[in-house]
Amino acid sequence: MTIRSTVLITGASSGIGATYADRFAKRGHDLVLVARDKVRLETLAHQLRKEYAVNIDVLQADLTKVSDLETVEARLRNDEKIGVLINNAGAAQSGGFIEQTGENISHLVSLNITSLTRLASAAAHRFSQAGDGTIVNIGSVVGLAPEFGMSVYGATKAFVLFLSQGLNLELSSKGVFVQAVLPAATRTEIWERAGIDINTLAEVMEVGELVDAALVGFDRRELVTIPPLFDESRWEALQTARQALLGEIRQTHAAERYQPAS
Protein backbone atom coordinates (compact mmCIF):
# COMPACT_ATOMS: atom_id res chain seq x y z
CA MET A 1 0.00 0.00 0.00
CA THR A 2 1.38 3.40 -1.05
CA ILE A 3 1.51 5.95 1.77
CA ARG A 4 0.77 9.37 0.33
CA SER A 5 2.34 12.38 1.98
CA THR A 6 0.24 14.97 3.74
CA VAL A 7 -0.20 18.26 1.88
CA LEU A 8 -0.16 21.60 3.71
CA ILE A 9 -1.99 24.33 1.79
CA THR A 10 -2.03 28.01 2.71
CA GLY A 11 -4.85 30.28 1.67
CA ALA A 12 -6.99 27.16 1.64
CA SER A 13 -10.39 28.60 2.51
CA SER A 14 -11.32 29.57 -1.06
CA GLY A 15 -10.17 29.91 -4.64
CA ILE A 16 -6.93 28.30 -5.74
CA GLY A 17 -6.12 26.93 -2.27
CA ALA A 18 -9.52 25.30 -1.79
CA THR A 19 -9.32 23.78 -5.26
CA TYR A 20 -5.86 22.35 -4.57
CA ALA A 21 -7.35 20.87 -1.39
CA ASP A 22 -10.11 19.17 -3.36
CA ARG A 23 -7.73 17.79 -5.97
CA PHE A 24 -5.20 16.41 -3.49
CA ALA A 25 -7.95 14.93 -1.30
CA LYS A 26 -9.33 13.25 -4.41
CA ARG A 27 -5.86 11.73 -4.93
CA GLY A 28 -6.02 10.30 -1.41
CA HIS A 29 -3.73 12.75 0.42
CA ASP A 30 -4.36 13.88 3.97
CA LEU A 31 -4.38 17.65 4.33
CA VAL A 32 -3.46 20.51 6.62
CA LEU A 33 -5.54 23.52 5.63
CA VAL A 34 -4.30 26.98 6.63
CA ALA A 35 -6.20 30.27 6.39
CA ARG A 36 -7.67 33.05 8.52
CA ASP A 37 -11.32 32.04 8.18
CA LYS A 38 -11.79 29.04 10.45
CA VAL A 39 -15.49 28.63 9.66
CA ARG A 40 -14.83 28.30 5.93
CA LEU A 41 -11.91 25.96 6.58
CA GLU A 42 -14.05 23.71 8.78
CA THR A 43 -16.81 23.68 6.16
CA LEU A 44 -14.37 22.69 3.43
CA ALA A 45 -12.70 20.09 5.65
CA HIS A 46 -16.05 18.51 6.52
CA GLN A 47 -17.00 18.32 2.85
CA LEU A 48 -13.69 16.76 1.78
CA ARG A 49 -13.62 14.25 4.64
CA LYS A 50 -17.10 13.11 3.70
CA GLU A 51 -16.38 12.90 -0.03
CA TYR A 52 -12.88 11.41 -0.02
CA ALA A 53 -12.43 9.82 3.43
CA VAL A 54 -9.11 11.56 4.12
CA ASN A 55 -7.77 13.06 7.33
CA ILE A 56 -7.81 16.84 7.44
CA ASP A 57 -6.47 19.23 10.06
CA VAL A 58 -7.57 22.84 10.14
CA LEU A 59 -4.98 25.40 11.19
CA GLN A 60 -6.36 28.91 11.57
CA ALA A 61 -3.62 31.45 10.94
CA ASP A 62 -3.10 34.99 9.72
CA LEU A 63 0.31 34.69 8.07
CA THR A 64 0.99 38.41 8.45
CA LYS A 65 1.08 37.89 12.23
CA VAL A 66 4.41 36.60 13.49
CA SER A 67 2.94 34.28 16.12
CA ASP A 68 0.59 32.63 13.61
CA LEU A 69 3.36 32.31 11.04
CA GLU A 70 5.62 30.67 13.60
CA THR A 71 2.87 28.14 14.38
CA VAL A 72 2.68 27.07 10.73
CA GLU A 73 6.48 27.01 10.46
CA ALA A 74 6.62 24.68 13.46
CA ARG A 75 4.07 22.37 11.88
CA LEU A 76 6.16 22.16 8.71
CA ARG A 77 9.34 21.50 10.65
CA ASN A 78 7.93 18.90 13.01
CA ASP A 79 5.25 16.99 11.13
CA GLU A 80 7.15 14.31 9.22
CA LYS A 81 4.00 13.28 7.36
CA ILE A 82 3.92 16.56 5.44
CA GLY A 83 5.68 16.10 2.12
CA VAL A 84 4.09 18.83 0.00
CA LEU A 85 3.74 22.55 0.71
CA ILE A 86 1.37 24.57 -1.47
CA ASN A 87 2.47 28.16 -0.80
CA ASN A 88 -0.69 29.80 -2.08
CA ALA A 89 -1.70 32.51 0.42
CA GLY A 90 -1.39 35.96 -1.10
CA ALA A 91 -3.04 39.29 -1.77
CA ALA A 92 -3.35 41.66 -4.73
CA GLN A 93 -3.49 45.44 -4.96
CA SER A 94 -5.59 48.11 -6.62
CA GLY A 95 -4.44 51.54 -7.67
CA GLY A 96 -1.03 52.80 -8.68
CA PHE A 97 2.14 52.90 -6.59
CA ILE A 98 1.69 56.43 -5.28
CA GLU A 99 -1.82 55.52 -4.16
CA GLN A 100 -0.57 52.71 -1.92
CA THR A 101 -0.23 53.45 1.77
CA GLY A 102 2.76 52.27 3.76
CA GLU A 103 0.45 49.91 5.63
CA ASN A 104 -0.89 48.40 2.39
CA ILE A 105 2.61 47.88 1.03
CA SER A 106 3.81 46.27 4.26
CA HIS A 107 0.82 43.91 4.30
CA LEU A 108 1.37 42.88 0.68
CA VAL A 109 5.08 42.24 1.16
CA SER A 110 4.50 40.45 4.44
CA LEU A 111 2.01 38.01 2.95
CA ASN A 112 3.33 37.57 -0.60
CA ILE A 113 7.04 37.50 0.23
CA THR A 114 7.91 37.14 3.91
CA SER A 115 5.46 34.43 4.90
CA LEU A 116 5.92 32.50 1.65
CA THR A 117 9.70 32.54 2.05
CA ARG A 118 9.69 31.57 5.70
CA LEU A 119 7.31 28.67 5.10
CA ALA A 120 9.40 27.49 2.16
CA SER A 121 12.45 27.65 4.41
CA ALA A 122 10.76 25.66 7.18
CA ALA A 123 9.73 22.97 4.70
CA ALA A 124 13.03 22.93 2.81
CA HIS A 125 15.12 22.21 5.90
CA ARG A 126 13.21 19.03 6.73
CA PHE A 127 12.60 17.98 3.12
CA SER A 128 16.31 18.22 2.30
CA GLN A 129 17.20 16.18 5.35
CA ALA A 130 14.66 13.54 4.34
CA GLY A 131 15.81 13.62 0.71
CA ASP A 132 12.25 14.10 -0.52
CA GLY A 133 9.55 16.77 -0.66
CA THR A 134 7.82 19.32 -2.86
CA ILE A 135 7.27 23.05 -2.56
CA VAL A 136 4.77 24.73 -4.89
CA ASN A 137 4.92 28.52 -4.93
CA ILE A 138 2.01 30.37 -6.52
CA GLY A 139 3.28 33.37 -8.45
CA SER A 140 1.68 35.31 -11.30
CA VAL A 141 2.37 36.32 -14.88
CA VAL A 142 2.15 39.88 -13.54
CA GLY A 143 5.63 39.24 -12.14
CA LEU A 144 6.85 39.19 -15.76
CA ALA A 145 5.02 42.33 -16.81
CA PRO A 146 5.70 45.75 -15.26
CA GLU A 147 3.55 47.02 -18.14
CA PHE A 148 0.47 45.80 -16.25
CA GLY A 149 0.90 48.62 -13.73
CA MET A 150 0.53 46.57 -10.53
CA SER A 151 4.01 47.55 -9.39
CA VAL A 152 4.17 46.26 -5.81
CA TYR A 153 2.08 43.16 -6.47
CA GLY A 154 4.07 42.36 -9.61
CA ALA A 155 7.34 42.84 -7.76
CA THR A 156 6.28 40.37 -5.08
CA LYS A 157 5.39 37.82 -7.74
CA ALA A 158 8.68 38.38 -9.57
CA PHE A 159 10.32 37.54 -6.24
CA VAL A 160 8.32 34.30 -6.05
CA LEU A 161 9.56 33.21 -9.47
CA PHE A 162 13.18 34.10 -8.73
CA LEU A 163 13.04 32.38 -5.34
CA SER A 164 11.57 29.22 -6.86
CA GLN A 165 14.21 29.05 -9.57
CA GLY A 166 16.97 29.66 -7.06
CA LEU A 167 15.65 27.03 -4.68
CA ASN A 168 15.55 24.49 -7.49
CA LEU A 169 19.25 25.08 -8.14
CA GLU A 170 20.02 24.69 -4.43
CA LEU A 171 17.67 21.89 -3.45
CA SER A 172 17.09 19.60 -6.43
CA SER A 173 20.26 17.62 -5.65
CA LYS A 174 18.85 17.04 -2.15
CA GLY A 175 15.65 15.48 -3.48
CA VAL A 176 13.44 18.58 -3.13
CA PHE A 177 11.28 19.62 -6.09
CA VAL A 178 10.20 23.27 -6.32
CA GLN A 179 7.51 24.32 -8.76
CA ALA A 180 6.52 27.91 -9.56
CA VAL A 181 2.98 28.29 -10.90
CA LEU A 182 2.23 31.51 -12.77
CA PRO A 183 -1.50 32.10 -13.31
CA ALA A 184 -2.94 34.98 -15.26
CA ALA A 185 -6.29 36.44 -14.18
CA THR A 186 -8.19 33.66 -12.42
CA ARG A 187 -11.72 33.79 -11.04
CA THR A 188 -11.05 33.98 -7.29
CA GLU A 189 -11.89 36.30 -4.41
CA ILE A 190 -8.46 37.95 -4.49
CA TRP A 191 -9.77 40.55 -6.94
CA GLU A 192 -12.75 41.58 -4.84
CA ARG A 193 -10.55 41.86 -1.75
CA ALA A 194 -8.24 44.15 -3.69
CA GLY A 195 -11.13 46.33 -4.79
CA ILE A 196 -10.95 45.20 -8.42
CA ASP A 197 -14.10 44.26 -10.36
CA ILE A 198 -13.16 41.02 -12.11
CA ASN A 199 -15.99 41.55 -14.59
CA THR A 200 -14.00 44.43 -16.08
CA LEU A 201 -11.26 42.02 -17.15
CA ALA A 202 -11.50 40.81 -20.73
CA GLU A 203 -10.29 37.24 -20.12
CA VAL A 204 -10.47 35.23 -16.90
CA MET A 205 -9.61 31.56 -16.32
CA GLU A 206 -11.80 29.42 -14.11
CA VAL A 207 -10.01 28.27 -10.98
CA GLY A 208 -10.60 24.56 -11.59
CA GLU A 209 -8.96 24.74 -15.00
CA LEU A 210 -6.02 26.66 -13.54
CA VAL A 211 -5.33 24.14 -10.76
CA ASP A 212 -5.83 21.12 -13.00
CA ALA A 213 -3.29 22.54 -15.44
CA ALA A 214 -0.88 23.32 -12.61
CA LEU A 215 -1.15 19.73 -11.44
CA VAL A 216 -0.25 18.46 -14.89
CA GLY A 217 2.95 20.48 -14.52
CA PHE A 218 3.33 19.15 -10.96
CA ASP A 219 3.11 15.54 -12.14
CA ARG A 220 5.61 16.23 -14.94
CA ARG A 221 8.01 17.83 -12.44
CA GLU A 222 7.94 21.04 -14.45
CA LEU A 223 9.92 23.80 -12.74
CA VAL A 224 7.83 26.72 -14.04
CA THR A 225 4.21 26.14 -15.04
CA ILE A 226 2.35 28.91 -16.89
CA PRO A 227 -1.12 27.50 -17.63
CA PRO A 228 -2.27 30.37 -19.91
CA LEU A 229 0.93 30.29 -22.06
CA PHE A 230 0.07 28.46 -25.29
CA ASP A 231 3.45 28.67 -27.03
CA GLU A 232 5.97 27.03 -24.68
CA SER A 233 8.84 28.09 -26.93
CA ARG A 234 8.30 31.69 -25.81
CA TRP A 235 9.32 30.80 -22.26
CA GLU A 236 12.24 28.74 -23.51
CA ALA A 237 13.37 31.67 -25.68
CA LEU A 238 13.19 34.01 -22.70
CA GLN A 239 15.39 31.68 -20.65
CA THR A 240 17.86 31.30 -23.52
CA ALA A 241 18.06 35.08 -23.96
CA ARG A 242 18.57 35.56 -20.22
CA GLN A 243 21.44 33.08 -20.17
CA ALA A 244 22.99 34.77 -23.20
CA LEU A 245 22.74 38.16 -21.48
CA LEU A 246 24.46 36.78 -18.38
CA GLY A 247 27.23 35.43 -20.60
CA GLU A 248 27.89 38.94 -21.89
CA ILE A 249 28.34 40.50 -18.45
CA ARG A 250 31.96 41.27 -17.58
CA GLN A 251 32.75 42.19 -13.99
CA THR A 252 36.24 43.68 -14.34
CA HIS A 253 35.43 46.82 -16.34
CA ALA A 254 32.42 48.92 -17.32
CA ALA A 255 31.21 48.54 -20.88
CA GLU A 256 32.67 50.95 -23.47
CA ARG A 257 29.46 52.98 -23.69
CA TYR A 258 29.86 53.90 -19.99
CA GLN A 259 33.51 54.89 -20.21
CA PRO A 260 34.12 58.62 -19.66
CA ALA A 261 34.99 60.54 -22.80
CA SER A 262 38.72 61.14 -23.06
Give catalytic residues, as residue numbers. 153
The Cα–Cα gap between 14 and 20 comes to: 10
Residue type, 35: A
- How far is the CA of 61 from the CAs of 38, 54, 57, 97, 131, in angstroms? 9, 22, 13, 28, 28
The Cα–Cα gap between 175 and 93 comes to: 36
**Are the beta carbons of 72 and 119 closer than 8 angstroms?**
yes
The Cα–Cα gap between 49 and 22 comes to: 10
Residue 92 φ then ψ, to 5° = -110, -175
SS3 12: coil
The Cα–Cα gap between 215 and 209 comes to: 10
Task: Provide the CA 240 distance to its chain's centre, in angstroms.
Answer: 24
* Of the candidates 60, 56, 53, 4, the residue with the CA atom closest to the CA atom of residue 34: 60
* Of the candidates 114, 102, 91, the residue with the CA atom closest to the CA atom of residue 35: 91
**Are the beta carbons of 190 and 207 closer than 8 angstroms?**
no
**Are the beta carbons of 74 and 51 closer than 8 angstroms?**
no
**Are the beta carbons of 146 and 98 closer than 8 angstroms?**
no
